[in-house]
Structure 1
């Protein structure tokens, strides 16, 4: 059902994450906007691991420090909510061991939850985009943790809307049978 919903939003880049910041579902435009999700050998599908361990994330996210603080803040919230999640604890331990920047932000104790606003992203075809975003929480089924859907859009008639339309067309052509 979630995948059908994301696919029906073809003109809006969208993807869903779990409490570990794993990208678990996306539409074609969302995969293209945040880079490489649709490719088996593409970027790491865990947003925190991608931000802290892949230098390409700094190209995609010109406001990298803000995105990094959001990721750490979200992991802090989820680790408090799910203290027995061994995979989440392992992810935090891995990032702590491998990234001085993760350790610095984690040690600050800051909690950041991202609900709506604007984000800047750089794409090789569309260029630098400043897009509006909303995060939508999908309620959890019994025994599960729920998901967060991230949806991006541009103001109609703006340069970003034109760039997003170009990106949408490029994705459509690339996925044509």
Structure 2
């Protein structure tokens, strides 16, 4: 019996999506040696989906109909968006309308390279709920060591309200925090059923009276452009313009950059901070 056309298409679809990913993009170690083909290997997708390589291979070859749980695991492993997921389930003749948790956001390698190349510009990638998804060394030196914050707590608004150092870092912490609450309120409108956002809001409402009052005021704002003044313990006073760029691969990822006019005191102090951060990284590694 020849494979079903739908199963053949399902296999081709999986191959295409697999070819677009890299081990680094999905959190796997990139083993040394040049790959014969672009993208993830079949065994890597199988590992991420917690199924056998043989089972996944037969899926790609159109030789095996998959159950809904397996399709769900593969969809999450490949980071499929909602349209791609519905298409996958449709090819398999399965129902895909039931609610599910949104796939974890991943920062594309190209965007990570941009972050790393911005040696004299602090920058972070902010995702849904204003989670901090990635950052460069200067952003960590300027704001906080994001790597030291547990991933589940690596949220800009949460850091603003729970890290005491933020209240002295920002010259006008209340204005910065109030704006962040308004931006988070906009996120809540986009994702009213997000359990992690609901938990975050509940936690901060209980812990902080300012957050509770500002959240109840229902002010909203979008991530855009603005100016922030910081009193940094190493670099001194920094007056920074910030701007936001939307990632083409995921409109829910924003590249936030802090810059200063060339020749200004802040411009020079950022370079001093960048040099300090580089020296600090070298001494920590040795």
Asked whether the two chains share a fold, i.e. TM above 0.5, the reply is yes
What RMSD in Å do the two structures reach over aligned CA positions? 1.7
The equivalent position to 1:133 in structure 2, one of 204, 219, 242, is: 242
The equivalent position to 2:270 in structure 1, one of 164, 168, 172, is: 164
Q: CA deviation at 1:45?
A: 2.4
Structure with greater strand share of residues = 1
CA distance in 2, matches of 1:151, 1:73: 19
Q: Describe the SS at the equivalent of 1:3.
A: helix
Q: Which has the higher contact order (CA 8 A, sep 6+)?
A: 1
Unpaired runs of 5+ residues, structure 1, are none
Q: Which residue of 1 aligns with 2:174?
A: 65
1:149 and 2:255 aligned: yes
Q: CA deviation at 1:40?
A: 5.5
Greater Rg, structure 1 or structure 2?
A: 2
Unpaired runs of 5+ residues, structure 2, are 1-108
Structure with greater helix share of residues = 2
Q: Which residue of 2 aligns with 1:20?
A: 129
TM-score (norm 1): 0.89
1:54 and 2:163 aligned: yes
TM-score (norm 2): 0.57
CA distance in 1, matches of 2:264, 2:155: 31
Comparing 164-173 and 109-118, the one that deviates more: 109-118
Q: Which residue of 1 aligns with 2:200?
A: 91
